[in-house]
């Protein structure tokens, strides 16, 4: 199946929160060194040599991308919180990445965190595109897990045509390129890597420190793993205990959602007086059926790129979902032991 649309097309083909976190890193942790690793959660999905060769060529193309004057002007207009100093830095960002393949795809990204933070999103989208372009071609018609750039563009074009007055309207796009193209607000939250990296560089703590001051300052919280219904109840109880009206807060849900799941979650939020919004990526931009059997879904790849080390200290992510733990296995087990969560790997 031939597809001529080739990503990456622009440095704006990136999620908003990456630019925001990068600016914060430049201001507070400009010289912190990190290592990211690529993780394939489904070992049955492998790239063939043709896919690897194509991927290398696209990474080389990514390395040649530079912000255009009109793109910098858009960032100044759409994101006034991005400083001139940051935009000047972005205009001379070095891109260095290596790719090795030994049957299983292996990628490690090392360097200053403030310089390499932008790699995750385009690399994941390119790996997905390579797989479905050269390995699993039995299909027909989110940024990190989209099938290819054209698919995400097509989906966003359709969503942008929905009248703004209708319930359930599109409130924006995390992809800066598409937000600009379709004149919708760029939106986003914050990545797991921020908490993981700061914990590696400075120490750790989150929920225990989410006191009344922070809970008041932040518009809401994000749910990305575990039982969303229990989370709603816990968030309601937490705000209530802090004497904060839950009706003034919002939960952003982004854990592998589809429209049916979003409707059920919204109903539960309404029961507890909480506002909600939904980030749906994979199930919009990877919603395909097999060519050989139009009744059967074409499964999306299950891939991530996560922080592995920060300032030579291991970084781990402990999730409510066992398969989403990331990091060096011994360090994951040590963290679980210290937190009395030793059963989470079973």
**pLDDT digits 0-9 by tens, 249-258:** 999 998 878 8
Contact 180, 156 (CB under 8 A): no
- CA–chain centroid gap for 159, Å, is 20
pLDDT number for residue 345 = 42
Distance CA 52, CA 127 (A): 9
Output the pLDDT for position 100. Answer: 58
In this predicted structure, the answer to whether residue 343 has a pLDDT above a threshold of 60 is no
| Higher-pLDDT residue of 124, 9 | 124
Which ranges of the chain would DSSP assign to H, the alpha helix?
16-28, 49-63, 69-78, 84-90, 113-116, 120-134, 149-160, 176-181, 192-202, 212-217, 228-241, 259-271, 282-285, 329-338
Mean pLDDT of all residues in 45-53: 85
210/274 same-domain check: yes
Q: Average pLDDT over the chain, rounded to whole?
A: 81
| Structural domain of 43 | 16-189+286-315
269 located within any domain: yes
For residue 173, what pLDDT is reported? Answer: 85
Q: HSE of 221 in the Cβ direction (CA atoms, 13 Å)?
A: 22
The total domain count for the chain is: 2
Co-location of 210 and 270 in the same domain: yes
> Are both 78 and 209 inside the same structural domain?
no
In the predicted model, what is the mean pLDDT of residues 95-111?
Answer: 68
Tell whether the model's pLDDT for residue 342 goes beyond 60.
no
For residue 2, pLDDT beyond 70? no
Q: Please give the helix or strand (H or E) that residue 37 lies within, else none.
A: strand 33-40
Q: Please give the pLDDT value at position 19.
A: 95
Please check whether residue 115 lies inside any domain of the structure: yes
> Is residue 221 domain-resident?
yes
Q: Quick check: 243 pLDDT over 80?
A: yes
- Does pLDDT of 334 surpass 90? no
| Interval 295-313 mean pLDDT | 85
Report yes or no: 302 and 275 within 8 Å, Cβ to Cβ.
Answer: no
Residue 309 lies in a domain: yes
* Residue 95 pLDDT grade (very low, low, confident, very high; cuts 50, 70, 90): very low
91 and 207 both lie in a single domain: no
Same domain, yes or no: 152 and 222: no
Say yes or no: 173 and 274 in one domain. no
Residue 96 has pLDDT above 70, yes or no: no
The per-residue pLDDT for 320 is 67
Please tell me whether residues 151 and 167 are part of one structural domain. yes
Q: What is the pTM of this model?
A: 0.71
Give me the percent of the chain exceeding a pLDDT of 90. Answer: 28
Res. 146: pLDDT tops 70: no
**What's the pLDDT score for residue 239?**
94
Q: Is the pLDDT of residue 23 over 80?
A: yes
pLDDT attached to residue 204: 43
Higher pLDDT, 206 or 112: 112
80 and 223 share a domain?
no
- Rounded Cα distance, 37 and 100, in Å: 12
Structure confidence at residue 28 (pLDDT): 93
Does residue 97 register a pLDDT over 60?
no
CATH code (residue 259): 3.20.20.70
Clarify whether residues 294 and 277 are in a common domain: no
Query: Domain for residue 275, yes or no?
Result: yes
Greater pLDDT, 248 or 8: 248
**Domain contains 328:** no
């Amino acid at each position: 199946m031939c597809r001529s649309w080739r990503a990456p097309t622009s440095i704006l083909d990136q999620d908003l929160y990456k630019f925001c976190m990068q600016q914060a890193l430049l201001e507070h942790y400009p010289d912190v060194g990190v290592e990211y690793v690529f993780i394939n959660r489904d070992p049955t999905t492998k790239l063939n040599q043709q896919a690897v060769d194509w991927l290398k060529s696209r990474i080389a193309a990514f390395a040649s991308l530079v912000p255009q004057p009109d793109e910098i002007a858009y960032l100044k207009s759409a994101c006034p919180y991005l400083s001139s100093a940051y935009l000047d830095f972005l205009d001379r960002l070095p891109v260095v990445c290596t790719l090795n393949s030994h049957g299983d795809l292996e990628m490690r990204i090392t360097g200053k965190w403030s310089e390499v933070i932008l790699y995750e999103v385009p690399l994941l989208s390119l790996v997905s595109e390579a797989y479905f372009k050269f390995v699993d071609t039995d299909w027909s018609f989110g940024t990190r897990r989209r099938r290819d750039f054209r698919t995400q563009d097509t989906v966003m074009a359709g969503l942008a045509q929905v009248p703004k007055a209708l319930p359930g309207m599109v409130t924006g796009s995390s992809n800066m390129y598409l937000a600009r193209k379709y004149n919708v607000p760029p939106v986003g939250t914050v990545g797991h890597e921020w908490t993981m990296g700061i914990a590696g560089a400075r120490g750790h703590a989150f929920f225990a420190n989410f006191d009344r001051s922070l809970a008041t300052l932040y518009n809401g919280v994000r749910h990305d793993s575990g039982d969303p219904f229990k989370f709603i109840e816990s968030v309601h109880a937490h705000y209530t205990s802090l004497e904060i009206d839950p009706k003034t807060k919002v939960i952003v849900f982004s854990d592998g959602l589809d429209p049916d799941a979003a409707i059920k979650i919204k109903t539960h939020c309404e029961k507890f007086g909480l506002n909600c919004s939904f980030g749906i990526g994979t199930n919009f931009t990877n919603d395909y059926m097999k060519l050989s059997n139009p009744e059967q879904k074409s499964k999306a790849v299950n891939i991530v790129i996560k922080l592995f080390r920060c300032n030579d200290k291991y970084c781990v992510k402990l999730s409510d979902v066992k398969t989403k733990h990331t990091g060096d296995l011994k360090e994951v087990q040590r963290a679980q032991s210290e937190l009395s969560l030793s059963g989470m790997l079973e």
